[in-house]
């Protein structure tokens, strides 16, 4: 086999003398995918583009502390007033800890009595057991939300303190 001196080395796209012409390469055409209008129903927005509300974020935080998954000091800077002391009293007993099933926030909601304040509630489920949690959030001048009070199952944290 002899080398063809007219053929440049390393170029595969050139045609050999006497070889049939190749058809021009065509780009496959793509069929455009139909575009869907963005979801505008409240349910669709919650499902796809839901940004957690302050009460949902705090319900998860409080659940983590009161179930023993996070230490109480994790809430420093996220509480004001007596809320931290309430958590200090509640957390050692881990009132939302369950055996076997991991507790989760099932529902969460809130009422805005005035701007910058949310009176919130959450139901915590673990298997067949459901517990209630209520808490108050207040927005500071820095626009950050902080927990101002916590109650479990209708019993104020102060009433749960050991005598």
- Number of other residues whose CB lies within 10 A of the CB of residue 101: 11
User: Which parts of the chain have pLDDT scores under 70?
Assistant: 1-49, 154-163
Q: What is the pLDDT of residue 140?
A: 96
At 13-46, the pLDDT tens digits run: 555 666 666 655 565 566 555 555 454 445 544 5
Q: What is the pLDDT of residue 101?
A: 87
Distance separating alpha carbons of residues 20 and 142, to the nearest angstrom: 76
Residue 141 burial by CB count (10 A; 0-12/13-18/19+): exposed, middle or buried? exposed
Helix 54-66 × helix 83-90 angle, to 10°: 40
CB-based contacts of 109, cutoff 8 Å, min separation 6 = 55, 120, 121, 122
Distance separating alpha carbons of residues 73 and 88, to the nearest angstrom: 9
Distance separating alpha carbons of residues 13 and 34, to the nearest angstrom: 37
Distance separating alpha carbons of residues 55 and 20, to the nearest angstrom: 73
């Amino acid at each position: 086999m002899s080398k063809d001196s007219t053929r440049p080395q390393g170029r595969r796209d050139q045609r050999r003398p006497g070889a049939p012409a190749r058809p021009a390469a065509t780009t496959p055409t793509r069929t455009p995918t139909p575009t869907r209008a963005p979801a505008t129903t409240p349910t669709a927005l919650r499902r796809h583009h839901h940004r957690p509300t302050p009460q949902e974020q705090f319900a998860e935080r409080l659940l983590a502390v009161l179930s023993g998954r996070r230490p109480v000091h994790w809430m420093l800077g996220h509480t004001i007033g007596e809320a931290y002391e309430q958590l200090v009293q509640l957390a050692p007993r881990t009132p939302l800890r369950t055996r076997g099933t991991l507790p989760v926030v099932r529902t969460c909601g809130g009422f805005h009595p005035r701007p910058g304040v949310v009176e919130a509630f959450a139901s915590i489920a673990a298997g067949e057991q459901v517990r209630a949690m209520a808490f108050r959030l207040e927005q500071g001048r820095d626009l950050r939300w902080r927990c101002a009070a916590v109650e479990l199952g209708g019993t104020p944290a102060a009433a749960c303190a050991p005598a």
